[in-house]
Amino acid sequence: SLEVPEDTSASFTLHMEVIQAYINLFASIASYHDQVSLLEKLNGKDSMLDNVIIFKSKKKKQKDKKIEELQKATLNEIESGFNGLREKIWEKLEQTTGATAAISVTSG
């Protein structure tokens, strides 16, 4: 008969958390690129007066600041998706290693 480990449910939950974190990562990156494209399109529709060199440097700084804020927000969103996973993965590895060592001792 096939024996199912006791912690199968915990393993499945951990796997799902990792998958969800990566889904969040890809969704955040896609959203970031969409928003940057939108900012670039909006800035491309400036009036002639805005394209004069005197005004353009101020506009560029504002655009760069918006993109910088967007980058920070995106990184924070990605990081929040991975919060706590490292610890859970190490804990799972330690449990698995301990179980493997116990099986080796009783089998040997």
What does the alpha-carbon distance between residue 81 and residue 85 come to, in Å, rounded to a whole number? 9
List, for residues 42-65, the tens digit of each pLDDT value. Answer: 877 554 445 555 555 666 666 688
pLDDT at 59: 61
Number of structural domains the chain divides into: 1
Asked whether residue 46 is assigned to any structural domain, the reply reads: yes
Q: Find the domain containing 13 and state its range.
A: 8-95
Asked whether residue 1 is assigned to any structural domain, the reply reads: no
Asked whether residue 100 is assigned to any structural domain, the reply reads: no
Asked whether residue 107 is assigned to any structural domain, the reply reads: no
- Collapsed DSSP state (helix, strand, coil) of residue 100: helix
What does the alpha-carbon distance between residue 14 and residue 8 come to, in Å, rounded to a whole number? 10
Q: Would the pTM count as exceeding 0.85?
A: no
